[in-house]
Amino acid sequence: MSRTYPTRIIEYLVKNFKAPSQFAMAVIQSHIGKVAGFLNLYDQLPHELIRLSADDYADLVAAIETVRYGIDRYRVGNNPDCLLPVGPALHVAWTLIGKLKDEVPSTAHDLTFITDPVLREMIGLDIFAISTDLQSGEWKGATVLAGSCCEALLLYGLQTRETKVPGSVGKAVAAITWPGSNPPRAADLIHRSWDLFSYTETAHHLELIIDTTKCELGPTRDYRNLIHPAKTVREKVRCDRGTAFVGAGALEHVISDLRRTL
């Protein structure tokens, strides 16, 4: 099913009706197709984006159904009087849809283990975007965002452990046999020497994540790098449904592990 967003609906209304108003019956009648188009767009609005108070939500439902009922009655009998309540109802719907946001933090995941509210909201918004991308077939967006969320969560997990047990990250880094000659700098978890691989290895050593999650993060890291065109061309691999769901699955297990261990 196609999806749309509040700002798209508002843009459509502004283009066709300029500004919210208690539209007269004659205006609705002369723009009947555009009003029907508004209803079509509203029906494509994901329900999870409709975050309103109980009163506002009730008003929005009533307004939408008033517009729909008036349009349907007009189609059947071609009686302009059926359109009398449509203009005011369209005004109410326009005003309430204007309050909505295009994205909201995911409520399908328990992120309460993240004590920083700003970070919790940021990751929640990205998880919602991943869910939206999966539903709409935006495989590259879902793949890359899933890898990014995994990295952010593991960074948070390591920072939290270091705060609770000072020196624990440094000891873990020293105990791991790293490929190459430049292991990450334990003193600075956001230093450029750290990446998803480093976070994964260290978090696993500290038992923040379990063995299977570590294994899932391997391909997730590799698929995330498909954001670089050269890698896609060089390896003849592209983001697809499989890479997206591998990343989303790894993310689910990182969240599950950290919720338990933090």
202-213 pLDDT tens trace: 999 999 999 999
Contact in structure between 93 and 81 (CB atoms under 8 Å): no
pLDDT tier at 105, thresholds 50, 70, 90: low
> Do 225 and 121 belong to one domain?
yes
Average pLDDT of 205-234? 88
Is residue 63 situated within a structural domain? yes
pLDDT tier at 46, thresholds 50, 70, 90: confident
Non-local CB neighbours of 190 within 8 Å, separated by 6+ positions: 155
Number of residues that make up the chain: 262
> Do 238 and 172 belong to one domain?
yes
> Do 124 and 91 belong to one domain?
no
> Do 149 and 236 belong to one domain?
yes
Is residue 122 situated within a structural domain? yes
Distance, CA of 70 to CA of 224 (rounded, Å): 49
pLDDT at 191: 86
Distance, CA of 262 to CA of 259 (rounded, Å): 6
> Do 124 and 167 belong to one domain?
yes
Non-local CB neighbours of 25 within 8 Å, separated by 6+ positions: 80, 81, 83, 84, 86, 87
When the pLDDT of each residue in the chain is averaged and rounded to a whole number, the result is 90
> Do 170 and 54 belong to one domain?
no
> Do 130 and 238 belong to one domain?
yes
Domain containing 68: what range? 6-97
> Do 199 and 129 belong to one domain?
yes
Is residue 111 situated within a structural domain? no
Listed residues 97, 132, 154: the one ending a domain:
97
pLDDT at 114 over 70: yes
The number of domains in the chain is 2
Distance, CA of 203 to CA of 187 (rounded, Å): 15
pLDDT tier at 181, thresholds 50, 70, 90: low
pLDDT at 182: 60
pLDDT at 71: 95
> Do 143 and 89 belong to one domain?
no
Contact in structure between 220 and 247 (CB atoms under 8 Å): yes
pLDDT tier at 180, thresholds 50, 70, 90: confident
